[in-house]
Amino acid sequence: MTILLVNIAQILLMVLAAPMAAGIVKKMKARMQNRQGAGIFQPYRDLSKLFGKEMVLADHASWIFRAAPYIIFTSTVLAASVVPVIVVDSPFSWTADVIALAGFLAIGTFFTALAGMDIGTVFGGMGASREMTFAALAEPALLMSIFVLSVTAQSTNLSVMIHHILDAGILLKPSIAFALIAMLMVSIVENGRIPVDNPGTHLEVTMIHEAMLLEYSGRHLALIEWATQIKLVLFATLIFDLFFPWGISTAVATSALLIALGLWVFKLMLFFVLLVIMETALAKMRLFEVPQFLSTAFFLALLGMFMHYILEVGAQ
Amino acid sequence: MSTELLQQIITMGAALMLLISFALLSQKRMLSLLHWFALQGIVLAAVTALVGYTSDNTELYVSAAITLLLKGMLLPWVLWKIIRQMHVHREVEPLVNMPVTMLIAAALVVFSYQVTLPIEHLSHLITRNTIAVAMANVLLGMLMMITRKKAITQVVGFLAIENSLFFAGVGATYGMPLVAELGVAFDVLIASVVFGLFFYQIRDTFESLDLNKMEK
Amino acid sequence: MSWFAVLLGVPLVAAVWLAVDAHPYRSARINIVAAAISLLASLELALQVLDAGRITVWNNWFFMDAFNVFLVALTAFVATTTAIFSGPYMRHEMDNGKIDAKRLRLYHAMSQLFVFGMFLGQTSNNLAIIWLSLEIATLATVLLVSLYRTPGSIAAAWKYLIICGVGISLALFGTAMLYFASSDVLGHGDAALTWTLLYDAADKLDPTVMSLAFVFLMVGYGTKVGLAPMHTWLPSAHAEGPTPVSAVLSGLLLNLALYSLVRCKMLVDVSTGSHLAGNLMMGFGLLSLLVAGFSLHKQQDIKRMFSFSSIEHMALMTFTFGIGTPVANFAAMLHMTTHSLVKSAIFFTVGHAAQSMGTQVMASIRGLINHQPGIGWGLLIGTCAIAGFPPFGVFTSEFLIFSAALQSYPWTVSVLLLGLLIAVAGLFRFVPDMAYGKAPEHAKLVHANMLPVYIHFSLALLLGISIPGFLSGWYHQAAALIAGGGL
């Protein structure tokens, strides 16, 4: 029973803390650029304001446009529920499958793009077409890099994979290093961060993700923004789970849970610092370079897979 | 020294070599191509020296030193000088587009793995699995030579093949006998001189290093 | 083993000397003298081997048995006649302004370096050195092919360098794999690449690794032999280089590559105990035979045409060594000898023909017999000889090849026959037109040195009529050796 509660708690933690995480990233970035920046709780205020606002719907918006925000938010929360945050095992751990995870994320992406096209504005269509182009490349790369770990652990279940990595101890395997790099590259694209997309811009020529959301307002917009914030934390947590799971609690004990929580926050902060440094230091790449960036990620993951079979399996 | 450590080093080296082979294939600019090529030489020298250290084979230090000087520094530098002196267009011009090339490359890796599979099951040397990587590297180098237009890129491909062969020697057998290693190093040196001569001859005759102009 | 030191030392010293000495006439003479001394040394060594069986030299680094000493003698002989031929030929090229004194110096130095590489490869007992020597010979000839510095010759030399460079890399990979197998048995160090030791321990080598290694060696050395589909470098290199270079490429370098391949085959045969290596060689041989036969018809350049004929004959030898019975090996070695003699003589003749007509395009070469009978008849006789007409030696060796094939693989005979007939038809489609008829007006008389040509033809004739007893004994010994009979 407690484990069920802990599980629900960790899902809630991820969902509720996500806006704060986004606030922290923004704050760090502002500091990095010698600005004061808004407080870390600003995203909560933004969200609550948006929830309170009246929605403006375009005349020819279909049901897809109205349903999309709920679908996106739900699929993201479902994806978040798959990823262990502080405790590995749960009554639902059999659902914690990486393929399901990728599927949930794909549903979100798909509906964002559909909604973008639904209104028929130029920007929506443009953003949707870009998003789908990249998604078509990003999904295989994401799956490939996860599969590298899956074949090592011989399972696609996240809990089993985490257990495997925890048991194997510190691994200096080339395959995993390659998969990690590929995973980081995909995360950048999936979350629309610099150097691929800029979440803070509304410049027509370059925007991808924001272009699809231009027509949204009020509650709808709030849900989508929230989903985006969750997605960032989700990817960070996934990377921790797959590559640096140390510290995550395998049993339901208060102390272990607290340590796991503390470590998770610590890892998250570290991740954000790196993200912010990268976003500040790098210039956004040109749009047509993104497919190349993604195929590099895919090939890195593929190389990782080769490495696993050739060098690591062959050695046994 | 511990065989565990040796295995780690060679595995890491093999992974890097394969990564570099892919990187060499995917480069679009001459300068970055040469950077990767130099890196390959340095990785090779490092692996050679480490293998020499862990397996107590002093002959390998000589090989490592030669590799570092020749392939890690001298050749990339000379190639860069040539590019600058001859005003070669600084883009690598592939004949086949990148994604296709990369897919072929991936297929070649799988192929090498398949081919060397029986050996890996038979042998009891711990480094046997590097043979597959070495073979893949050789094939990737050949792919690079086939799919590039410029004489210089072909030469880089050729030297990359030599590097892979060298790695095969070090990784799979802890280094060939010194006479073989020296012979190969000597050969690379002489071949590079001949290549250099040819660059000038080709440039003087065809006013370009683009090989398409050579095929009338 | 002082004769051995002479054999290896003289070409090397001569190469260095000729690299420094720029005097054109003296260089030509030194070139001849150096080659002649090596010939003497090789004959002396051949006699020793004939008496003593296998001899090893210098701490087992070099060795000679019936197989390679025969090749050394052949190499030395062709190198000598080529040196004699090239004197007036190269002088003519210089007088016509095609090369200057500096290039001539390069030519002489590289010729001797090439000869050194050949001897080194043929006598070395270390597989890595065999590989290295083939590379030395290749690099030397690359510089020779581009001697004229014409766009065509540079393109040809580049193609030669790149294709053979890759080919030979694959051979090195094969060698590394072989070492991978042998270092398990013989331990790390030079012993594991020493051919004689490997041969004694061949049955202990891992058959899987050896088979895989042989595939690489086959493709690698096969590139150098000129086997299809890796043969594309060969015609251009032959056509664009100076004629003496075409002659030694066809007559000697290809032999060395085939020799290396056969040495490796001997190891693989014992190790695997199967006919895998032989089958590979036979397959490549048949394919190349057909490719060469058909390509021969499409040529316009006379040297290109004859270089396809070289591919055809190398393919035939590869096939025959692939059969692997003592009869087949005997036939292949005899064919190697007769082909080297006849083909180099043909190239000498073709060189003079091209000089007198001022072109290598076959359509513009007419009336050679009328114009300069020596050259015209030389071309005609040479073509008959290489086509395998009796009483020349090529007929004998091809006859033996057919009987060997009939004995072991009867079905291949039809393919062989088809390939040879196509090739012969190709030769006779072009050659009579060039030999007979009226010479064009611009044709000029050249100072032709036909003596080496006729020496080669008479030797080929001699081999056709009756093989001297000592020579056939020699071949028998070598044939049994290659077939795995030991000594």
Share of chain C above pLDDT 70, in %: 99
Residue B9 has a pLDDT of 77
Q: Both tokens of residue A46?
A: 């933004």
Nearest to B72 by CA among B38, B23, B31, B30: B38
Give residue B132's pLDDT: 84
Phi/psi for C323 (5° steps) reads: -60, -45
Whether residue B183 has pLDDT greater than 60: yes
Q: What is the pLDDT of residue C75?
A: 94
Neighbours of C8 (CB within 10 A): 19
Helix (H), strand (E) counts: chain C = 20, 2
Would you kindly state where each structural domain of chain B is located, as residue ranges?
A: 3-213
- Tokens linked to C53: 């069986």
Are B205 and C169 an interchain contact pair (Cβ–Cβ within 8 Å)?
no
For chain B positions 62-91, those within 8 Å of chain C (CB to CB) are: none
> What is the pTM assigned to this prediction?
0.85
Cis before A195 (ω within 30): yes
Q: Residue A295: which of B26, C2, B164 has the closest Cα?
A: B26
Confidence at residue C284, expressed as pLDDT on a 0 to 100 scale: 95
Contact A314 B22 (CB under 8 A): no
Interface residue of A288, A310, A311, A316 to substitute, partner B, most B CBs within 10 Å: A310
Question: Residue B70 — very low, low, confident or very high, per pLDDT cuts 50/70/90?
Answer: confident
Give the whole-angstrom CA distance, residue A177 versus residue A171.
9
Residue stretches of chain A with pLDDT short of 50: 315-316
Determine, for residues A314 and B128 on separate chains, whether the beta-carbon distance falls below 8 Å.
yes
pLDDT digits (tens, 9 = 90+) for A234-247: 999 999 988 888 88
The model's pLDDT over B147-181, given as tens digits with 9 standing for 90+, comes to 887 888 888 898 999 888 888 888 777 777 777 77
pLDDT, tens digit, for every residue of C239-255? 998 999 999 998 899 99
Which pLDDT does position A169 carry in this prediction? 67
Query: Which of B57, B177, B198 minimises the CB distance to C193?
Result: B177
What's the complex ipTM? 0.89
SS3 (DSSP) at C124? strand
C58 touches B at CB < 8 Å: no
Element (H, E) at C64: strand C62-64
Contacts of B158 in chain C (CB under 8 A): 162, 165-166, 169
Annotate C342-396 with DSSP letters as a single string.
HHHHHHHHHHHHHHHHT--BGGG---HHHH-HHHHHHHHHHHHHHHT-TTSHHHH
B32 in A contact zone (CB under 8 Å): no
Angle at the Cα of B212 (from B211 to B214), degrees rounded to 5? 65
State pLDDT tens for residues C319-367.
Answer: 999 998 889 999 999 999 999 999 999 999 999 999 888 889 998 899 8
Per-residue confidence (pLDDT) for residue C486, from 0 to 100: 45
Is C313 in contact with C322 (CB distance < 8 Å)? no
Residue in A267, A205, A230, A310 with CA at minimum distance from that of residue A22: A230
- C-alpha dihedral sign at C460, C465, C467, C469: negative
CB neighbour list of residue A200: distance below 8 Å, 6 or more residues apart: none
Q: What is the pLDDT of residues B126-135, one digit of tens each?
A: 566 778 888 8
- Rounded to whole angstroms, the Cα distance separating B172 from C179 reads 10
| pLDDT score for A48 | 93
**Which among B115, B176, B198 has the least Cβ separation from residue C176?**
B176
Q: How many B-C residue pairs are in contact by the CB < 8 A criterion? A: 120
Q: How far apart are CA B109 and CA B18, in angstroms?
A: 9
Nearest CB to B172 within list C154, C162, C180: C180
**Is residue B212's pLDDT more than 80?**
no
Measure the CA–CA gap between A248 and A234, rounded to whole angstroms.
15
B183 in contact with C, Cβ within 8 Å: yes
- List the single best residue of B133, B167, B184, B211 to mutate versus C (max C Cβ within 10 A): B184
Chains with 3+ CB–CB pairs under 8 A to B are A, C
Residue C127 has pLDDT above 80, yes or no: yes
In this complex, the residue of B26, B99, B129 whose CB is nearest that of residue A315 is B129
For B32, residues 6+ apart whose C-beta sits below 8 A from its C-beta are none
Q: Amino acid identity of C50?
A: L
Residue B213: pLDDT band with limits 50, 70, 90: low
| Residue B192 sits at the chain A interface (C-beta within 8 Å) | no
CA A69, A71, A77, A79 dihedral sign is negative
Q: Which of B194, B200, B204, B213 to mutate: most C Cβ within 10 Å?
A: B194
CB C247, CB C82: distance < 8 Å: yes
Residue from the list A292, A303, A311 with its beta carbon closest to the beta carbon of B22:
A303
For residue B71, what are the contacts with CB-CB under 8 A and spacing of at least 6?
B38, B40, B41, B44, B45, B159, B162, B163, B188
The whole-angstrom separation of Cα C294 and Cα C362 is 17
Instruction: Return the bridge partners of A87, or none.
Output: A249
Which residues of B are less than 8 Å from C175 in CB distance? Answer: 180
Helix (H, G, I), strand (E, B) or coil at C57: strand
pLDDT value at position B211?
67
**What pLDDT does residue A206 have?**
72
Q: Is B104 on the interface with C (CB under 8 A)?
A: no
**pLDDT tens column, C265-305:** 999 998 888 888 999 999 999 999 999 999 999 999 999 99
Burial status of residue A287 (CB atoms within 10 A of its CB: 0-12, 13-18, 19 or more): middle
Of C126, C172, C206, the CB nearest to B184: C172
3-class DSSP state for residue B91?
Answer: strand
